């Protein structure tokens, strides 16, 4: 029987994955950069050279600038919130004595993450309805002036952020809970014997031990906030009123699939790639040194 | 649903009229091409529901066994959603045979999607178009091409919750003909009932009606933006007046419809095509009224809706598509279709669906086209214009500055 060994065997095993990555990720990325220098008519396969014009017009576009500013706000609000809040909840859940209650909490917190947003969006639209919505009804009972929520340019972004948070925090919670459960019991018990209190244990023992998970979620949460919020934006506000709740990826989606301006859309995609790569590099530079791999 | 408008019986004369027109249509089209085996064509549309009239039309066509099988493909709920999928199909060499396309995308359909000129598909194209009203054909004529069949026509109308109207002490037989008449009544309704009295759609379509009824235009005949004229400014000032006076609560279209259907809103202005949907979900009396004009100015309401564009490239697919379009032009198909609330675009004398009389009266007055945004960046111009309207409604700019801003931005895009 022919035996697979040596470096050929390794290539054989990683080959399919490598080809998938090359053909479905790296090659489209390279082609995208190429398209960004052209005006591309998809149907006539008509390419007109535009040089850097797609980039200049994009950077000067007021809607792009507002989408970029909104993206920065979403990141500044949601990344810390989606890390700190689930982390605190995970610590609290570990201290729940009843296993059944802990499981119930875990399920309740994780359900928003797995619910299809096309369904959840309908419910949220009802809650936010400025005329017959539950939020205004509750607000009125408490003596608060009814709000226009998604239709108010000064509130729409915060409504989207709140729903994106509701939808997204469960995943990190699950990861933190799993990481905390996997901390060797003997380490915790040793700390307890040495007289370490709950706060001390959390800050100086448990947090450093789950730092690889924290680092992983810090990277992925940035990507999730950049990317997955598009679904929330699309269902709730379509980026409005007048782009007040849009973000970079939604701007890209509109450019490509609503206005069919594929050259500029490719330029936006390239800019997003650069921003994400830069943000990820910065995160590695700033935080990797604090990660303790056991 | 308790509605004051009872469904009218179809009179014998009307029934005979429909039958007679059917015979005339059959004679007009003459013989149909022979399809050697069943040819399947994809009909891409945006209408959901197995019992939607679009599905009923497709089923009725397939029941004729013409040798063409129409396959319903609902690929989204907006024109913007179904268009990229059709583009992907075209790029891959497998375009849908027919796609429902919004009037506003007519230029895009011709120049980018390559919608076929109906007169150049087979020999029946001219006869087919002869079944439609001239005014409807104009809406699908871009340059020298007829880019589709005018299938769905709507116009902005008022939907009035008559229970609230009466509760406010307003005369049910005196629905307003002008906004100057509507606004005090809306204010009274809000004051007496405590409910939201009025909601307008915030888009480009309803404001277009206000601009035109004030004597202005969004784009002139040459396709140049003129939405900052004195007339247009006056029209939009009238549009936002109830908001400034505190009795139009701003909501999205879906929020507006949901709130109206629960009985929480007195009056909404929306498309006549929503009639069947709004009535089906409401349990109070609804009356449709003509969209009010502006006092002392000539009425000039606009239309909206969609046409059926032939995107097929292969000859047999184009001929099969024409076969389906010929059926769509029959009284049988149009009668099924009118259940949506869309208006009759054909020459056939069909019974007016109960409650839709005001919309038909508005059609009889004459409707202008929905703004067709020209040029390769026309769709971007449309979005920019909607954003400026939204800024005006939300008071972030004055009406004059907002329309000037829209004109400047749109000019750059469609120049």
Nearest alpha carbon to residue B28 among B129, B120, B118: B129
Three-state secondary structure readout of A226-238: HHCHHHHHHHHCC
Kindly state the average pLDDT of the residues B61-85. Answer: 91
Residue A242 touches partner B, C-beta closer than 8 Å: yes
State phi, psi for B75 to the nearest 5 degrees: -110, 20
Residue B35 has pLDDT above 70, yes or no: no
How far is A3 from B333, CA to CA, in rounded Å? 69
pLDDT score of B3: 35
DSSP assignment letter at B306: E
pLDDT score of A293: 74
Residue B23 has pLDDT above 60, yes or no: no
Judge if B12-153+304-360 and B156-302+373-414 fold alike in CATH terms.
yes
Model pTM? 0.86
> Chain B partners of A126 at a C-beta cutoff of 8 Å?
258
How far is A293 from A270, CA to CA, in rounded Å? 33
How far is A252 from A232, CA to CA, in rounded Å? 15
pLDDT score of B1: 34
Residue B9 has pLDDT above 50, yes or no: no
Angle formed at CA B124 by CA B123 and CA B128, multiple of 5 degrees: 150
Instruction: Give how far B137 is from chain A: nearest CA, Å.
Output: 26
Contact at CB, A259 and B262, closer than 8 angstroms: no
Mutate to test the interface with A, among B204, B267, B388, B394 (most CBs of A within 10 A): B394
Contact at CB, B91 and A42, closer than 8 angstroms: yes
- Alpha helices by DSSP H, B268-398: 275-280, 315-328, 331-337, 357-365, 378-393
- Tell me which residue in A41, A148, A254 faces B250 most closely, judged by beta carbons: A148
Judge contact between B219 and B208, C-beta under 8 A: no
Question: Residue ranges of the domains in chain B?
Answer: 12-153+304-360, 156-302+373-414
Question: Residue ranges of the domains in chain A?
Answer: 61-290
Per-residue pLDDT tens over the stretch B352-402: 988 899 999 998 898 998 998 888 888 899 999 999 999 999 999 999 999
Contact at CB, B250 and A257, closer than 8 angstroms: no
pLDDT score of A91: 93
How far is A213 from B106, CA to CA, in rounded Å? 53
* Count of CA atoms in the C-beta half-sphere (13 A) of A131: 28
Instruction: Give how far A255 is from chain B: nearest CA, Å.
Output: 8
How far is B142 from B223, CA to CA, in rounded Å? 12
Residue B80 touches partner A, C-beta closer than 8 Å: yes
Contact at CB, A129 and B255, closer than 8 angstroms: yes
Instruction: Give how far B162 is from chain A: nearest CA, Å.
Output: 19
Contact at CB, A131 and B199, closer than 8 angstroms: yes
Instruction: Give how far B108 is from chain A: nearest CA, Å.
Output: 10
Provide the greatest CA pair distance for chain A. 81
pLDDT score of A257: 86
Rg (CA), chain B: 22
Per-residue pLDDT tens over the stretch B77-104: 888 788 888 888 888 889 999 999 998 8
Kindly state the average pLDDT of the residues B40-63. Answer: 94
Residue A150 touches partner B, C-beta closer than 8 Å: yes
pLDDT score of B269: 97
Q: Which CATH number fits domain B156-302+373-414: 3.40.47.10, 3.40.50.1000, 3.40.190.10, 3.20.20.150?
A: 3.40.190.10
- Tell me which residue in B113, B199, B387 faces A43 most closely, judged by beta carbons: B113
Residue A11: how many CB atoms within 10 A of its CB?
Answer: 10
- Torsion on CA atoms A205, A208, A214, A219, rounded to nearest 10: 170
Contact at CB, B196 and A259, closer than 8 angstroms: no
> Chain A partners of B82 at a C-beta cutoff of 8 Å?
none
Residue B38: how many CB atoms within 10 A of its CB?
Answer: 12
> Chain B partners of A150 at a C-beta cutoff of 8 Å?
252, 255
Contacts of B322 by beta carbon, 8 Å cutoff, 6+ apart: B118, B121, B122, B124, B125, B128, B310
CA B393 to each of CA A107, B241, B246: distance values in angstroms, whole numbers, following the listed order: 43, 10, 12
- Tell me which residue in A42, A151, A242 faces B251 most closely, judged by beta carbons: A151
Contact at CB, A129 and B87, closer than 8 angstroms: no
Contact at CB, B251 and A129, closer than 8 angstroms: yes
Fold of B12-153+304-360: D-Maltodextrin-Binding Protein; domain 2 (3.40.190)
SS3 B219: strand
Contact at CB, A259 and B387, closer than 8 angstroms: no
Residue B2 has pLDDT above 50, yes or no: no
Instruction: Give how far A200 is from chain B: nearest CA, Å.
Output: 50
Q: Mean pLDDT, 10 residues at a time, over chain A (294 residues)? A: 70 92 95 94 79 95 95 96 95 89 89 87 93 95 94 96 94 94 92 90 93 94 91 92 95 90 95 94 90 76
pLDDT score of B143: 87
Strands B196-200 and B286-290: unpaired
Beta bridge partners, A47, equal A40
Strands B156-161 and B149-154: unpaired
Contact at CB, A42 and B87, closer than 8 angstroms: yes
- Alpha helices by DSSP H, chain A: 6-21, 27-35, 53-60, 62-94, 99-114, 117-128, 134-141, 156-181, 185-193, 198-201, 207-209, 211-227, 229-236, 248-257, 262-287
SS3 B215: coil
> Chain B partners of A43 at a C-beta cutoff of 8 Å?
87, 90-91, 112-114
Residue B401: how many CB atoms within 10 A of its CB?
Answer: 15
How far is B211 from B227, CA to CA, in rounded Å? 8
- CA closest to B392 among chain A residues: A242
> Chain A partners of B387 at a C-beta cutoff of 8 Å?
63, 240, 242-243
pLDDT score of A3: 62
> Chain B partners of A133 at a C-beta cutoff of 8 Å?
255
Banded pLDDT at B4 (limits 50, 70, 90): very low
Q: Which CATH number fits domain A61-290: 1.10.490.10, 3.40.640.10, 3.40.50.2000, 1.10.3720.10?
A: 1.10.3720.10
Contact at CB, A131 and B196, closer than 8 angstroms: yes
- Angle between helix axes A62-94 and A53-60 (nearest 10 degrees) is 70
Residue B281 touches partner A, C-beta closer than 8 Å: no
pLDDT score of B14: 52
Residue B195 has pLDDT above 70, yes or no: yes
Mutate to test the interface with B, among A43, A136, A255, A262 (most CBs of B within 10 A): A43
- Length reported for chain B: 415
Per-residue pLDDT tens over the stretch B271-330: 999 988 898 889 999 999 999 999 999 999 999 999 999 999 999 999 999 999 999 999
> Chain A partners of B380 at a C-beta cutoff of 8 Å?
259, 261
Mutate to test the interface with A, among B48, B256, B383, B402 (most CBs of A within 10 A): B383
Angle formed at CA B156 by CA B151 and CA B160, multiple of 5 degrees: 125
Residue A42 touches partner B, C-beta closer than 8 Å: yes
84-123 in A: which are within 8 Å (CB) of B? none
Residue B198 has pLDDT above 80, yes or no: yes
């Amino acid at each position: 029987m022919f035996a697979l060994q040596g470096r050929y065997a390794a290539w054989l095993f990683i080959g399919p994955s490598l080809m998938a990555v090359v053909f479905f990720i790296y090659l489209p990325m390279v082609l995208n950069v190429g398209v960004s220098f052209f005006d591309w008519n998809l149907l006539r396969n008509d390419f007109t050279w535009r040089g850097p014009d797609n980039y200049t017009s994009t950077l000067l576009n007021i809607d792009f600038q507002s989408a970029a500013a909104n993206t920065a706000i979403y990141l500044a609000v949601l990344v810390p919130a989606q890390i700190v809040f689930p982390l605190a909840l995970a610590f609290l859940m570990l201290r729940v004595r009843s296993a059944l209650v802990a499981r119930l909490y875990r399920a309740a917190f994780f359900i928003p993450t797995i619910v299809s947003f096309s369904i959840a969006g309908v419910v949220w639209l009802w809650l936010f309805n400025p005329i017959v919505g539950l939020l205004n009804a509750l607000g009125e009972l408490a003596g608060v002036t009814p709000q226009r929520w998604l239709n108010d340019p000064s509130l729409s972004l915060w409504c989207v952020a709140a729903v994106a948070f509701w939808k997204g925090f469960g995943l990190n919670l699950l990861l933190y809970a799993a990481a905390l459960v996997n901390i060797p019991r003997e380490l915790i018990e040793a700390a307890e014997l040495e007289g370490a209190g709950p706060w001390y244990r959390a800050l100086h023992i448990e947090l450093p031990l789950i730092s690889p998970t924290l680092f992983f979620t810090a990277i992925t949460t940035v990507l999730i906030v950049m990317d997955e919020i598009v679904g929330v934006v699309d269902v709730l506000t379509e980026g409005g009123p007048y782009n007040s709740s849009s973000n970079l990826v939604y701007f890209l989606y509109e450019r490509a699939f609503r206005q069919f301006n594929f050259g500029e859309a490719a330029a936006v995609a390239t800019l997003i790639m650069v921003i994400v790569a830069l943000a990820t590099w910065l995160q590695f530079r700033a935080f990797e040194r604090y990660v303790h791999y056991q | 649903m308790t509605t004051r408008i009872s469904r009218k019986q179809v009179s014998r004369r009307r029934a005979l009229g429909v039958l007679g027109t059917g015979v005339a249509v059959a004679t007009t089209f003459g013989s149909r091409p022979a399809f050697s085996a069943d040819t399947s064509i994809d009909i891409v549309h945006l209408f959901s529901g197995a019992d939607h009239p679009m599905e009923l039309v497709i089923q009725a066509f397939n029941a004729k066994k013409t040798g063409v099988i129409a396959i319903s493909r609902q690929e989204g709920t907006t024109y913007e959603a179904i268009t990229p999928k059709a583009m992907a199909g075209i790029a891959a060499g497998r375009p849908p045979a027919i796609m429902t396309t919004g009037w506003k995308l007519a230029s895009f359909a011709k120049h980018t999607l390559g919608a076929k000129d109906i007169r150049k598909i087979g020999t029946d194209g001219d006869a087919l178009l002869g079944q439609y009203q001239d005014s409807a054909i104009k809406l699908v004529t871009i340059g020298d091409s007829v880019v589709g069949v005018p299938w769905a026509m709507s116009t902005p109308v008022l939907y009035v919750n008559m229970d609230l109207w009466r509760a406010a002490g307003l005369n049910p037989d005196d629905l307003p003909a002008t906004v100057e008449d509507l606004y005090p009544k809306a204010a009274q309704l809000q004051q007496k009932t405590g409910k939201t009295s009025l909601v307008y759609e915030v888009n480009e379509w309803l404001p277009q009606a206000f601009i035109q009824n004030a004597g202005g235009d969004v784009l002139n005949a040459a396709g140049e933006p003129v939405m900052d004229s004195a007339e247009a400014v006056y029209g939009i000032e009238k549009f936002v007046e109830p908001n400034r006076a505190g009795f139009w609560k701003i909501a999205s279209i879906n929020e507006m419809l949901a709130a109206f259907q629960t009985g929480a809103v007195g009056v909404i202005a929306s498309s006549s095509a929503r009639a069947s949907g709004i009535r089906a979900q409401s349990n109070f009396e609804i009356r449709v009224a003509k969209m009010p004009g502006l006092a002392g100015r000539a009425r000039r309401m606009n239309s909206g809706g969609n046409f059926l564009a032939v995107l097929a490239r292969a000859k047999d697919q184009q001929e099969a598509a024409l076969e389906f379009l010929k059926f769509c032009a029959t009284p049988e198909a149009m009668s099924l279709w009118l259940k949506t609330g869309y208006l009759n675009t054909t020459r056939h004398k069909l019974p007016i669906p109960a409650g839709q009389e005001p919309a038909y009266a508005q059609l009889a007055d004459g409707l202008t086209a929905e703004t067709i945004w020209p040029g390769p960046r026309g769709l971007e111009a449309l979005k920019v214009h909607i954003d400026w309207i939204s800024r005006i409604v939300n008071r972030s700019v004055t009406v004059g500055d907002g329309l000037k801003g829209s004109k400047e931005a749109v000019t750059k895009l469609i120049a």
